[in-house]
Amino acid sequence: MWHERCWLGRFSPVKWLLMCHNRARAVKPPLRAIVDEIRKRLNVVVRGKEEVIDLLVVGVLGAGHVLIEDVPGVGKTTLAKALARVFDIRFARVQFTPDLLPADIVGTEVLKPADGSFAFHAGPVFTNVLLADEINRASPRTQSALLEAMNERQVTVEGVSRPLPAPFFVLATQNPVDFQGTYPLPEAQLDRFLLRVKMGYPERDDELKILADRKLTDPFEALEPLARASHILELQEAARQVELKESVARYLLELVRATREHKDLELGASTRGALALYRAAQALALLADRDFVTPDDVQQMAVPVLAHRVLLAQDARYGGSTADGIVAAIVDRVAVPT
């Protein structure tokens, strides 16, 4: 019925039809309202992180996985849990530890004593949102258990491939300054994250609001589910329909190729990185309610999408250079199409 499609009653049938007829909107009004409400609710739980929240939403719209990285206590896990909670979909959290095994994530075949047969017991990866908390604390063997799930949306156990629910995305957190009992993520796994997001400390006024918000209760406890799986799939499909003109596509590839030719980078961005930048730029344009990608969208997504995919040369590491800084410098240097 109409009132079910017109979320929160913000648009009348006549107004909605007129808007669709007269204006080429990237997102239908009910979906637009859902996106705006998601951002609003997350901003209440994690104060002063509007840009970070927008990047997480871009990850969802781009049907990609997100790595949230920063020092302890700045809200990485809280933000990941809040993002999962605003979606009325299945959610699972796995605390990664050195003794975690691959079967603890993907599941295993269990013997049934009654008849001697085996039954598959699904692991927590069979969900819509998987929070991999402190992912770099698990062994490389356990980390690799997520590779197939993240890239192909399926899990293979004992020669049998089983598809994961749709939508499916991984939100992973890691602490880049604590190296005790950690295993750095290999380049092959980092390449499967659409975005890497850094939280950073809140501003003084925002931190004061955080203290006031938590005087009696935690805003996270009052967070209610909002978007269903069908909404997410619709938004992801809308993102894929966002137009990327050839001139902007060539500009995007020039940025990617520049990372492969830079003297301070031992490893540049892969073709998967180029596709990731494409999807992220589409999602950012959709977030801005546009049906086309601009060079500015590509520029804004370059560091979050590409910086974790490149590998610094030894001299650059010792010289104090950072991947973020090099990618940002590439963005400044490559000519923008007119």
What CA–CA distance (Å, rounded) separates 324 from 322?
5
Instruction: Work out whether strand 154-157 and strand 160-163 pair parallel, antiparallel, or are unpaired.
Output: antiparallel
186-234 pLDDT, tens digit per residue, is 888 899 999 999 888 888 888 888 888 888 888 888 888 888 888 899 9
What CA–CA distance (Å, rounded) separates 231 from 88?
10
What CA–CA distance (Å, rounded) separates 43 from 86?
12
Q: Which helix H or strand E contains 44, and what residues bound it?
A: helix 29-45
pTM of the model: 0.84
Please give the CATH superfamily to which domain 242-338 belongs: Magnesium chelatase subunit I, C-Terminal domain (1.10.8.80)
Tell me if residue 227 falls in helix, strand or coil.
strand
Angle CA 331–334–338, to nearest 5: 105
For the chain, give percent helix, strand, coil, nearest 5. Answer: 50, 15, 35
Q: Which helix H or strand E contains 169, and what residues bound it?
A: strand 169-174
Q: Which two tokens stand for residue 207?
A: 């931190």
Per-residue pLDDT, 89: 86
Domain range 2-240, CATH architecture = 3-Layer(aba) Sandwich (3.40)
For residues 92 and 129, is the Cβ–Cβ distance under 8 A?
A: yes
For residues 265 and 311, is the Cβ–Cβ distance under 8 A?
A: yes
2-240 and 242-338: identical CATH topology = no
pLDDT, tens digit only, all 338 positions of the chain: 333 344 444 444 334 333 443 344 566 667 778 888 888 888 888 888 889 899 999 999 999 999 988 777 778 888 888 888 888 888 899 999 999 999 999 998 888 888 878 888 899 999 999 999 899 899 988 988 899 999 999 999 888 899 999 999 999 988 877 667 788 888 888 999 999 998 888 888 888 888 888 888 888 888 888 888 888 999 999 999 999 999 999 999 999 999 999 999 999 999 999 999 999 999 999 999 899 999 999 999 999 999 999 999 888 888 888 999 999 999 999 999 87
Q: What does the domain layout of the chain look like in residue ranges? A: 2-240, 242-338
What CA–CA distance (Å, rounded) separates 165 from 168?
6
Per-residue DSSP letter, 8: G
| Neighbouring C-beta atoms of residue 135, cutoff 10 Å | 25
For residues 284 and 26, is the Cβ–Cβ distance under 8 A?
A: no
Per-residue pLDDT, 165: 93
Instruction: Work out whether strand 154-157 and strand 66-69 pair parallel, antiparallel, or are unpaired.
Output: unpaired
Residue with tokens 């991947």: 323
CA 134 to chain CA centroid, nearest Å: 16
